[in-house]
Chains A and B, each alone.
Chain A
Amino acid sequence: MEVKKRTAIRSMEYGDFKNNDYLEKMVDELNRDGAGVILTTIDEVINWGRSNSLWTLNFGTSCCAIEFMALGAARYDMARFGFEVTRNSPRQADLIMVMGTITYKMAPVLKRLYDQMAEPKYVVAVGGCTITGGPFIKSYHVVNGIDKIIPVDVFIPGCPPRPEAFYYGMMQLQRKIKVEKFLGGVNRQEKEPKEEK
């Protein structure tokens, strides 16, 4: 079966996204061994559901979290996309949105929350501090980028990013989910943890 390389996002042109080559490369990699007709169809349905129902766990540590609140408020209303269901329990969330500086004291907590989430799970890093450490990069107590601790799916730069940037990032995550193969275990790329003694 022909593998669909393009993912459609409502009211956004495909060409308007900036990282199409990355996504197409990812599709190629995922489908290296070919794609079955039935599995792909089921995959598409499941991925449609998953990509349109992203429940966030807000890990807001500083400024960016306030912009996220503005995202939830009436003007930018994230309920339109179905993102408004924010779960405070990591067990019920699909993605963890890390907003703000992650310090050395916080890093183990972030890792622990990430581990507590149910599969399939995604990480969105929001804001300069989260991505690289931002203006605090020289500090003795700031993690220089959360990708050193947990795998990040989408980076949303800005200090803080505007609500529109949040949407762009969330759409990128939707696109990424849409090309994934849910059946076939590609999601579980991390190694199984070793048995505890």
Chain B
Amino acid sequence: MNQSFLDYYNLQPLFMAIHSALCSIMPEGLAIFLEGLVVAVLILIMYAVLAIILIYMERKVCAKFQCRIGPNRVGGKGGLLQVPADVLKILTKEIIELKNSDHFLYALAPFLVIMASILTFSCLPWNKGGEILHMNIGIFFVLAASSIGVLGILLAGWSSNSKYTIIGAVRSGAMIISYELSIGLTVLTMVMMSGTMDIQQIVASQADGWNIFKGHIVAIAAFIIFLIAGNAEANRGPFDLAEAEQELTAGYHTEYSGMHFGFFYLAEYLNLFITSGIATTLFLGGWMPFHIAGLDGFNAVMDYIPGVIWFVGKTFFIVFLLMWIRWTFPRLRIDQVLTLEWKYLMPASLLILLLMTVCKVFGLVF
């Protein structure tokens, strides 16, 4: 298969060139340190920009669903500067210290949440050679790192010393721990299909067709389960019990103000993006263009489009799907959430794992 353009967009050589250029004028340690610094700043900027885009998108998408217009006054016709205004506001807002709370944990919790989010964020395969954290157990690392977030939520709820927050936190804890099983099992299914845990290689293995097509029925079922569980993991409707506005006012972050609250808010949207990004990687081929085996001309045309556009495009498509779900369904109740997981999704994902094994053994996947 002609993959010249894929290689053309490969970022690896560029990074290598920068690295060697830096090494030639300074010691390697310093060069790596400087590079790390630049990358860290880049991640944070990307993180913030994406959050702004996602929040704006959510406000516009939900307005469309609700026969409204949505923000259209601040900064131009489309209300493009509405979210930056919010960010500016929240940055200048007072951060309240509670009197009867565990001060250290109270201050720590938002950082745990945002850290988990950033760690998983850096594992996303943006392009060929465009991955920030690359390791051969990448997908495993994503699962591990995303679990830190729930710790932050639990701590936030507990240290605030309020009954609403503790109920929200415990709900969230119970839910996320449960749904991690389904996520783990579906991820395992896809890992088995690709035969590797390395995120770049999972993507590379989909060069001749995305997993969702190659794994046909089994992969589609796994995709649906992953979306449901991922939605729950990101604490979004209809699984937003942890901050169920109508029940617990603001759930686990009721007592947080200013930028501390902003961190929770940002992390919520980025987790949505990360869930979608991982789903894209596992099922929709990550940055891999759309290929149809046999149609070389068509494939070559698709290859002209850079991988990063493919990745972002597919991810935002899934983000849109999740928003659609959120703005359509009412909220579940905590026992129904747990019933759904333990009685239906978990057995189903075990079955899918088994089916995938059978398919793989008998060569029924393409």
Check if A82 is an interface residue, CB within 8 A of chain B. Answer: yes
Check if A67 is an interface residue, CB within 8 A of chain B. Answer: no
Select from chain A the residue with minimum beta-carbon distance to B81: A52
Check if A50 is an interface residue, CB within 8 A of chain B. Answer: yes
Which of the residues B70, B72, B245, B255 comes within 8 Å of A91, measured between beta carbons? B255
Check if B296 is an interface residue, CB within 8 A of chain A. Answer: no
Check if A74 is an interface residue, CB within 8 A of chain B. Answer: yes
B193 to chain A, nearest CB (A): 42
Q: Do residues A118 and B96 form an inter-chain contact, with CB atoms below 8 A?
A: yes
Q: Do residues A80 and B92 form an inter-chain contact, with CB atoms below 8 A?
A: no
Q: Do residues B255 and A49 form an inter-chain contact, with CB atoms below 8 A?
A: no
* Chain B neighbourhood of A119, CB < 8 A: 93-94
Q: Do residues A49 and B72 form an inter-chain contact, with CB atoms below 8 A?
A: no
Which of the residues A53, A74, A84 comes within 8 Å of B89, measured between beta carbons? A53
Check if A79 is an interface residue, CB within 8 A of chain B. Answer: yes
Q: Do residues A49 and B79 form an inter-chain contact, with CB atoms below 8 A?
A: no
Q: Which of B71, B87, B95 has the most CB of A within 10 A?
A: B71
Q: Which of B59, B87, B89 has the most CB of A within 10 A?
A: B89
Q: Known contacts A89-B249, A89-B250, A91-B257: does B94 contact A79 (CB below 8 Å)?
A: no
| A side interface size, CB within 8 A | 29
Q: Do residues A77 and B68 form an inter-chain contact, with CB atoms below 8 A?
A: yes
Q: How far is the CA of A84 from the CA of B59 in the complex (A)?
A: 9
Grouping DSSP codes into helix (H, G, I), strand (E, B) and loop, the B interface class, with mixed when no group exceeds half, is loop
* Chain B neighbourhood of A85, CB < 8 A: 86
Within A53-111, the residues touching B (CB, 8 Å) are: 53, 55, 74, 77, 79-82, 84-85, 87-89, 91-92, 94
Q: How far is the CA of A119 from the CA of B85 in the complex (A)?
A: 17
Select from chain B the residue with minimum beta-carbon distance to A85: B86
Convert B236-268 into 0s and 1s, putting 1 for each residue whose CB lies closer than 8 angstroms to a CB of A. 000000000100011001111110010000000
Select from chain A the residue with minimum beta-carbon distance to B245: A88
Which of the residues B69, B72, B79, B261 comes within 8 Å of A92, measured between beta carbons? B261
Q: How far is the CA of A29 from the CA of B79 in the complex (A)?
A: 33
What would be 15 A-B contacts, judged by CB atoms less than 8 Å apart? A48-B85, A49-B92, A50-B88, A50-B89, A52-B86, A53-B86, A74-B68, A77-B69, A77-B70, A79-B70, A81-B74, A82-B85, A85-B86, A118-B96, A120-B94
Q: Which residues in B have some Cβ–Cβ distance to A below 8 Å?
A: 59, 63, 66-74, 79, 81-82, 84-90, 92-96, 245, 249-250, 253-258, 261
Q: Which residues in A have some Cβ–Cβ distance to B below 8 Å?
A: 10-11, 45-46, 48-50, 52-53, 55, 74, 77, 79-82, 84-85, 87-89, 91-92, 94, 116, 118-120, 182
Known: A49-B86, A52-B89, A116-B96. 13 other contacts (CB 8 A): A49-B85, A77-B63, A79-B59, A80-B69, A80-B72, A80-B73, A80-B79, A89-B249, A89-B254, A91-B254, A118-B93, A118-B96, A118-B257
